[in-house]
């Protein structure tokens, strides 16, 4: 395909939209599909066809965010959102089009859940059909790649990414521009680029939603990254438990190949880039870079000591760039709008937005994207709608099993990498589990430690043995047989794991124990033998 052909695609899509008086979008991401949205989509198509409404487009789209309200339906351009729709409700909604909305299903789009978000990564989610590359192109898709091919050098790309201040969204928050620069400078005749889509935190579904809703944004970011660092082959490492994401990724890669965005001489340029999918078997430790590399190579997914880092010696010993789904999904907007534009969002040290999944004891369970630096209070009580049934907030667990619990005392702390670390937690990939007063925090800590025990690869003694001892002590305390000495052992053992474990799993596994001891020590002491 030639670059001129892309303008023709955009024009065709634009004409199709102009002919339509209205567009009915039905969420067909995993959450809504599990609630029956495919039947709702089929019913809308059937009713619209029977009614002879040829000026109405009905299509499936990606996640719109309010997952607890699925199946979700959006009417454009009326800007009407309906929640918890069943096939039986469809005729009434179709009959109301152009007239008064069906209020009992209508969501309030003036609610902070919608008004306080800032969507960059999720910009296309809920707007385009994720299985049609034409719609992605018509919504400014692959324009950043064209800009890179026609107006920028690889070093120009790295400069913009560096200027943006984007940090890796997979958890550690390492500066993306610095990582790209390191790989670009690395020697060797072959380089690889890898997308880490091995999302394993309990309650986290950010990466899955992006892959299901807007797979081309990730692919475009990977192609741009490959050009910038000099890689010619890429892999998306995605867990096999995400069948819908895999299906749409496969389709998106095939479409991109057909249109010349992937393969030899991309859009007639000197650059080559091929992309493949590799399946993860569900091992949480494979979210760690070196364990992920071992898994792609066909070996047992276990971490290795660093250095050397993957940027120096990664896949099959070659320099390898690894970023996660959300990081790559940011790239095209940074290239299109400039690094300075992105750096004006967020805080002084944590730029841009962050996608969060908010789950647990929260009214508005779902997927959100907010500027980094927004307070926990705003996220939980404003966007999230607070605790259901007038419950009392107790804590929020950020960063999954590797993170920690944050209490009401710190609800007004801005959410960024540095502040969360000071509070004994981490940003992680963006999962937030809200906990109310019905939960015992010792039991919460035990749940996360048990997860770490089952997910430890067993390679290093501190993690393999230490996490089991932590769980045994927590079991002893929960059974009422613990003593003050056990509290001291918990703290000492946790510090030992943090300083001696081989990889991030063992190093961060004690975080839930340490954070609950820090903020809820009284709940431990109440369970001890008198």
Say what the pLDDT of residue 1 is.
58
> At residue 194, what are phi and psi to the nearest 5 degrees?
-130, 135
Residues of the chain with CATH 1.20.1440.230: 441-526
Whether the Cβ atoms of residue 311 and residue 183 lie closer than 8 Å to each other = yes
272-307 confidence digits (pLDDT tens): 999 999 999 889 999 999 999 999 999 999 999 989
pLDDT exceeds 70 at position 448: yes
The string of pLDDT tens digits covering residues 362-388 is: 999 999 999 999 999 999 999 999 999
The CATH number of domain 133-343 is 3.90.1300.10: no
pLDDT at 201 over 90: no
530 pLDDT higher than 60: no
- As given in the structure block, the two tokens for residue 12 are 């065709």
Q: Which positions ≥6 away from 199 have C-beta within 8 Å?
A: 205, 206, 207, 208, 239, 242, 287, 325, 429
The b-or-e profile of 199-220 (16+ CB within 10 A means b, else e) is bbbeebbbbbbbbbbbbbbbbb
Only one residue has tokens 């996490």, namely: 467
Greatest alpha-carbon span in the chain: 79
Residue 529 confidence (pLDDT) above 80: no
- Chain region(s) in the chain for CATH 3.10.20.600: 353-431
Long-range contacts of 485-493 (CB under 8 A, 24+ apart): 486/528, 487/517, 487/521, 487/524, 487/525, 487/528, 490/517, 491/517, 493/466, 493/469
Over 80: is that where the pLDDT of 21 sits?
Answer: yes
Between residues 470 and 430, which one has the greater pLDDT? 470
Domain with CATH 3.40.30.10 in the chain: 21-109
| pLDDT per residue as tens digits for the range 495-511 | 999 999 999 999 999 99
Distance, CA of 177 to CA of 184 (rounded, Å): 10
Q: What is the pLDDT of residue 463?
A: 95
The reported pLDDT for the residue numbered 10 is: 81
Q: Bigger pLDDT: 11 or 267?
A: 267
Please check whether the domain covering 441-526 is classified as CATH 3.30.565.10.
no
pLDDT at 432 over 90: yes
Q: Where in the chain is the domain with CATH 3.40.50.11540?
A: 133-343
List, for residues 204-248, the tens digit of each pLDDT value: 899 999 999 999 999 999 999 999 999 999 999 999 999 999 999
Separation of alpha carbons 102 and 215, rounded Å: 33
139-150: per-residue pLDDT in tens?
A: 999 999 999 999
> Would you say domain 353-431 falls under CATH 3.10.20.600?
yes
- Assign a CATH topology to domain 21-109: Glutaredoxin (3.40.30)
Of 31, 45, 320, give the one whose Cα is nearest residue 194. 320
């Amino acid at each position: 395909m030639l670059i001129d052909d892309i303008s023709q695609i955009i024009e065709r899509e634009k004409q199709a939209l102009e002919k339509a008086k209205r567009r009915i979008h039905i969420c067909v991401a995993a959450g809504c599909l599990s609630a029956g949205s495919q039947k709702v989509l089929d019913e809308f198509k059937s009713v619209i066809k029977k009614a002879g409404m040829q000026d109405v487009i009905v299509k499936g789209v990606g996640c719109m965010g309010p997952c607890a309200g699925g199946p979700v339906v959006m009417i454009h351009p009326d800007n009407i959102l309906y929640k918890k729709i069943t096939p039986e409700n469809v005729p009434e909604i179709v009959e109301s089009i152009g007239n008064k909305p069906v209020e009992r299903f209508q969501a309030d789009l003036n609610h902070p859940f919608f008004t306080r978000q800032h969507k960059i990564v999720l910009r296309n989610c809920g707007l385009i059909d994720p299985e049609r590359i034409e719609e992605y192109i018509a919504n400014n898709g692959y324009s950043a790649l064209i800009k890179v091919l026609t107006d920028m050098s690889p070093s120009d790309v790295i400069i913009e990414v560096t200027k943006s201040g984007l940090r890796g969204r997979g958890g550690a928050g390492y500066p993306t521009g610095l990582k790209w620069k390191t790989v670009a400078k690395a020697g060797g005749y072959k380089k690889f680029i890898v997308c880490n889509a091995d999302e394993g935190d309990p309650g986290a579904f950010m990466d899955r939603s992006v892959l299901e809703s807007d797979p081309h944004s990730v692919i475009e970011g990977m192609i741009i990254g490959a050009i910038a660092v000099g890689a010619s082959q890429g892999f998306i490492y995605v867990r096999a438990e995400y069948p819908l994401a895999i299906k749409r990724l496969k389709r998106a890669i095939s479409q991109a190949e057909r249109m010349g965005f992937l393969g030899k001489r991309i859009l007639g340029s000197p650059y080559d880039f091929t992309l493949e999918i590799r399946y993860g078997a569900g091992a949480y430790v494979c979210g760690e870079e070196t364990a992920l590399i071992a898994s792609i190579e066909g070996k047992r997914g276990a971490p290795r000591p660093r250095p050397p880092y993957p940027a120096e010696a990664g896949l099959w010993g070659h320099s390898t760039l690894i970023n996660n789904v959300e990081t790559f999904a940011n790239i095209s907007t940074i290239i299109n709008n400039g690094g300075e534009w992105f750096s004006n969002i967020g805080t002084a040290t944590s730029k841009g937005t962050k996608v969060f999944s908010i789950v647990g004891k929260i009214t508005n369970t779902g997927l959100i994207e907010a500027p980094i630096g927004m307070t926990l209070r705003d996220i939980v009580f404003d966007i999230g709608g607070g605790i259901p049934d007038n419950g009392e907030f107790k804590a929020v667990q950020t960063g999954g099993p590797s993170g920690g619990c944050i209490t009401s005392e710190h609800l007004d702390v801005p959410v960024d990498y540095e502040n969360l670390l000071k509070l004994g937690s981490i940003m992680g990939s963006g999962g937030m589990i809200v906990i109310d007063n019905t939960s015992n925090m010792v039991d919460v800590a035990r749940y996360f430690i048990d997860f770490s025990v089952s997910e430890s690869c067993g390679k290093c003694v501190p993690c393999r043995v230490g996490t089991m001892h932590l769980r045994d002590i927590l079991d002893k305390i929960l059974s009422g047989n613990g003593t003050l000495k056990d509290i001291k052992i918990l703290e000492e053992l946790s510090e030992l794991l943090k300083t001696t474990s081989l990889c991030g799993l063992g190093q961060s596994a004690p975080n839930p124990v340490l954070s609950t001891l820090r903020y809820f020590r009284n709940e431990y002491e109440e369970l001890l033998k008198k």
